[in-house]
Structure 1
Amino acid sequence: MSIATITNAGFAGTARLGIREVVRQLNGALGATLVAALTGSKDPRVSYKWARENGPEPRPEAVQRLLLAHRAWTAVSANEGEHVARLWFIGANPWLDEVSPIEAISNLESKKVMTAAQAMIEDSFAG
């Protein structure tokens, strides 16, 4: 299966989920503190609130970050496993000029994040 197929499937899968389900899945995969960090929130529990059916809606910028994080998570974890994906999200990343994907997502560097995810999956470096 090619990376384009995987990335496109990740986009389609993420697009079909409601934002509350996206947040629930990210909370389960990364933990609420990291989910809050990637959205730029200072409240480490805000993602628990967003995940609740009667909870507040995330701001539009937070929604963009959450959807990007979910797409990247889906791509990396499907190919490398959840443990490696978790480490990929928090570690300094050579494909992102040595910042973590969490920080790049927080800065809404969508193309860079998805390129880094692709490079991780393909085990390539074009730096």
Structure 2
Amino acid sequence: MPTRTITGQHTRTARMDVHEVANVLVHGLGPTLVAALTGSKDRKLPAKWARSDGPTPGPDFTRRLQLGHRAWAALVQDEGAHIARQWFIGGNPLLGESTPLTAIREDRGREVIEALTAFLRDEPDA
């Protein structure tokens, strides 16, 4: 039931401190990919966000981190970290062959969640 997984993950992510959200993504994807996901030009900034005493990301960065975390956590739960990483960086036909990472950076949240749901349901690509 991917929809339940994604909805439940929204609640869990919303209750997390943004530094913890960043920490999970930095450990899973690495700071360079997290910088790309958020649109940060500084690839070292996500590692700083991941520290509990680090700077707090601005609202646009936070929104993208939270969406990235929701997708990451749902994928890891159902598929494991290796598949989750591949999903983020691979071209996706449901996103016009953009990567989910790029779609998150471009604030295409609805499309990302639809692509994630289809993947978790093991639906054929469009």
TM-score by length of 1: 0.95
Paired residue total: 126
Which letter does structure 2 place at the counterpart of 1:85?
A
Name the residue aligned to 1:106: 105
Deviation, 1:113, is: 0.5
Deviation, 1:125, is: 3.3
Which letter does structure 2 place at the counterpart of 1:61?
D
- 2: CA distance, partners of 1:51 / 1:3: 27
- 1: CA distance, partners of 2:2 / 2:90: 22
Name the residue aligned to 1:13: 12
Deviation, 1:100, is: 0.2
Find runs of 4+ consecutive structure 1 residues off by over 6 angstroms. none
Checking the alignment, whether the CA contact within 8 Å between 1:79 and 1:121 is kept in structure 2 is yes
In structure 2, list runs of 5 or more residues that go unmatched: none
1:51 aligns with 2:50: yes
Deviation, 1:126, is: 5.8
**Corresponding residue SS for 1:17:** coil
Deviation, 1:19, is: 0.1
* 1:97-125 deviation per Cα after TM superposition (whole angstroms, max 9, x unaligned): 10000100000111100111111111113
User: What is the Cα-based RMSD across aligned positions, in Å?
Assistant: 1.0
Checking the alignment, whether the CA contact within 8 Å between 1:76 and 1:120 is kept in structure 2 is no
In structure 1, list runs of 5 or more residues that go unmatched: none
Which letter does structure 2 place at the counterpart of 1:125?
P
Checking the alignment, whether the CA contact within 8 Å between 1:23 and 1:47 is kept in structure 2 is yes
* 1:16-46 deviation per Cα after TM superposition (whole angstroms, max 9, x unaligned): 1100000000001100000011110111110
